[in-house]
Amino acid sequence: MKKLRVIIVDDEKLARTYLADLLSPYEDLDLVAECADGFEAVKACAQFKPDVIFLDVQMPKLDGFEVLELLDPVPHVVFVTAFDDYAIDAFGVHAVDYLLKPFSPERLAQAIEHVRQRSSAPQQLQSLLDDRGADGRLLQRVAVRDGSAVHLIAVGDLDYVSAQDDYIELHSGQRSFLKHQTLTSLEKRLNPEDFVRIHRSTLVNLHKVERIEAWSKDSKIAIMKDGTRLRVSRSGYQKLRQSLDRD
């Protein structure tokens, strides 16, 4: 019988120990790592390629959702949390299950059975991650992997974001980072008063735009404060002009 590789992620040691003890009798589960924060979780998932992750939502450094955004592929997820808030209501449909602390061994057994029965949860969960922001909550930072390192970029520090096939390239100062995400999904979570889509493949921080110049008779370019020149589409020009005039 093939064992399912399992990782526990929780910033509370007692919570990790309790869950690990409850998982120990399950012969088809192999607990390969316990992580105290989101950074450890990202590294452990890259190393062990878990089939299942028991993931706390509220954690310092990286929260549970930011962890998931950095995983590729996304494993089966069982959320473990003390907060039954909007996020759990939304993700409970698409994640394999969620456990509300304090949970009983019987409730854990139900979640494990759901893990055994579900095969499409990672794809469903990835779709939901792409759709985050529908509730109107604005993004304050972007979590991105750079090799084994994880960076947290404040949205105000972004200069612009460009689409690169199935990835976005985040430009901040002299650095750029690739992340597996669509430009549209990121745009939904940014304040439209601060970020404008100037081209189908480019999203700019209005506060980092120096000026707009004519490129040819029918085209414009945006000159960023660092000197970067970005192509502006016709519809993008109208949105950019309106936003700059408003400021």
Which CATH number fits the domain that encloses residue 12?
A: 3.40.50.2300
Q: Are residues 126 and 149 in the same domain?
A: no
In a domain? residue 177: yes
Kindly state the percentage of the chain with pLDDT values over 70: 87
Q: Are residues 233 and 123 in the same domain?
A: no
Residue in 12, 11, 10, 8 with CA at minimum distance from that of residue 23: 8
- Per-residue pLDDT of 127-139, as tens digits, reads 555 555 555 678 8
Q: Are residues 97 and 185 in the same domain?
A: no
pLDDT band at 20 (very low <50, low <70, confident <90, very high): very high
In a domain? residue 136: no
Domain boundary among 104, 130, 156: 130
Domain boundary among 130, 152, 178: 130
| Cα–Cα distance, 136 to 70 (Å, whole number) | 22
Question: How many domains, in total, are found in the chain?
Answer: 2
In a domain? residue 10: yes
Give the pLDDT of residue 89.
54
**pLDDT over threshold 60, residue 95:** yes
- Coil vs helix vs strand at 230: strand
Residues 6 or more apart from 164 whose CB is under 8 A from it? Answer: 178
In a domain? residue 135: no
Q: Are residues 151 and 199 in the same domain?
A: yes
Domain that holds residue 55: 4-130
